[in-house]
Structure 1
């Protein structure tokens, strides 16, 4: 079954097990191009596992994951890695910066790895750091920065390539509420202005309110959505792999 034409990301019937336990059970959804979709649910509800499935970090055994009408579930490992490098961005709850690099070098790293010139990569990185109110610290290394500042750099790193799709896994979980709110508003505004589709995992209803639509997960099952979705529904299975 082909995905709907207006869904940039589409998954049918994901059922995943980890160490013998069901982590996802029959989860399907579609994400429209340019949409900010929140995956909301308590910790342990399967949000991260679902995003790993959708981003190609999980190998599907029976289920389907499509990106721009390309079947991610039939790609080999090298093809999935290329897809993640060239088309996707990812933000973890923790920054995961390279300690030896400066703030701008960390933000520019995805571009430098693609072979973009040093000058162009630096310019783009500094522009994103400025948008995230961290530009004045571009020459500092992570140890000299606060947790909030480091996470802003991680967000800039994820956005610097202007990915087609950004996966944000509890991106402000380690921040104080005020810092987190400001960072998220900047992130969502930047995504909208650049036409970046965002999948945002959160357990916070206030964070989810920044999205266009929310899908709720509980114990690995989809239990609701804030608005009708065009994605298909069904049942299948997959297993985790790194």
Structure 2
């Protein structure tokens, strides 16, 4: 094994992974600097989610290496990877996945309370993040009373409340309308930058990727230098692409 560069908080080399015999990642390598917001861009089905799952330790690539702060994630045991995700990483899915029985601040505070943080401390931290994400006025509402964009802001607050070293966001605004999408992403990136939280953001939207510090592009499980998407049918994942390797 080769240790990662000193200036990369996250580093992956030659990742290969297949799902039911279908290649999802084919030799992907990348590095992420501390405090950087990195967008992983590309059409649906290109391997973005698989890459984020490998980088975060949810999935172990069949070949290749993943390092976090010089620790080899790919050789960790399942309990070690679970502890790493719980203590150092945050994750945002395309859908909020809020607990319907809990109100907004309780949903945002849930990761802290699961760690054993006193309820008063967890509530104060959750309310602070909800205010930063412009949803503090909804703190006592249940998820069913919120708009989709508001629910996604709660999910973002939940991911940030533990102050993770590294936040993975998998198409975090995909279900939102374009105006809501831009506003939520601006809020997320601003919050991450203000707290020096490193972000790896998967998106098929070039406008979303433009908010990042740097972008890498995937196509058919491979990292490419450029990709031009024309007339992408998002419902079926069809695309017309020109690329240079």
Question: TM-score normalized by structure 2?
Answer: 0.91
TM superposition shift of 1:62: 3.1
Tell me which residue corresponds to 1:132. Answer: 133
Tell me which residue corresponds to 2:11. Answer: 10
List aligned pairs for 1:1-242, cutoff 5 A.
Answer: 1-224=2-225
Q: Could you tell me how far apart the structure 1 residues matched to 2:170 and 2:60 are?
A: 19
Q: Could you tell me how far apart the structure 1 residues matched to 2:226 and 2:6 are?
A: 20
- Divergent runs of 4+, >2 A: none
**2:16/2:24 contact within 8 Å kept:** yes
**1:214/1:225 contact within 8 Å kept:** no
Q: Could you tell me how far apart the structure 1 residues matched to 2:207 and 2:69 are?
A: 30
Look up the SS of the partner of 1:166 in the other structure: strand
Question: TM-score normalized by structure 1?
Answer: 0.92
Q: Could you tell me how far apart the structure 2 residues matched to 1:124 and 1:194 are?
A: 14
Q: Could you tell me how far apart the structure 2 residues matched to 1:61 and 1:142 are?
A: 38
**2:17/2:63 contact within 8 Å kept:** no
For structure 1, the 5+ residue unaligned runs are: 227-242
Look up the SS of the partner of 1:80 in the other structure: helix
TM superposition shift of 1:180: 1.1
For structure 2, the 5+ residue unaligned runs are: 228-245
TM superposition shift of 1:225: 6.8
Residue-by-residue CA offset, 1:200-230 (whole Å, 9 max, x unaligned): 101111111111100000010000279xxxx
**1:3/1:69 contact within 8 Å kept:** yes
Q: Could you tell me how far apart the structure 1 residues matched to 2:158 and 2:225 are?
A: 32
Residue-by-residue CA offset, 1:147-191 (whole Å, 9 max, x unaligned): 111111000000000100000011111111111111111110110
> Cα RMSD (Å) of the superposition?
1.1
Higher relative contact order (CA 8 A, sep 6+): 1
Q: Could you tell me how far apart the structure 1 residues matched to 2:206 and 2:13 are?
A: 25
Look up the SS of the partner of 2:180 in the other structure: helix
**1:213/1:225 contact within 8 Å kept:** no
Look up the SS of the partner of 2:27 in the other structure: strand
Q: Could you tell me how far apart the structure 1 residues matched to 2:59 and 2:226 are?
A: 24
Count of residue correspondences? 226
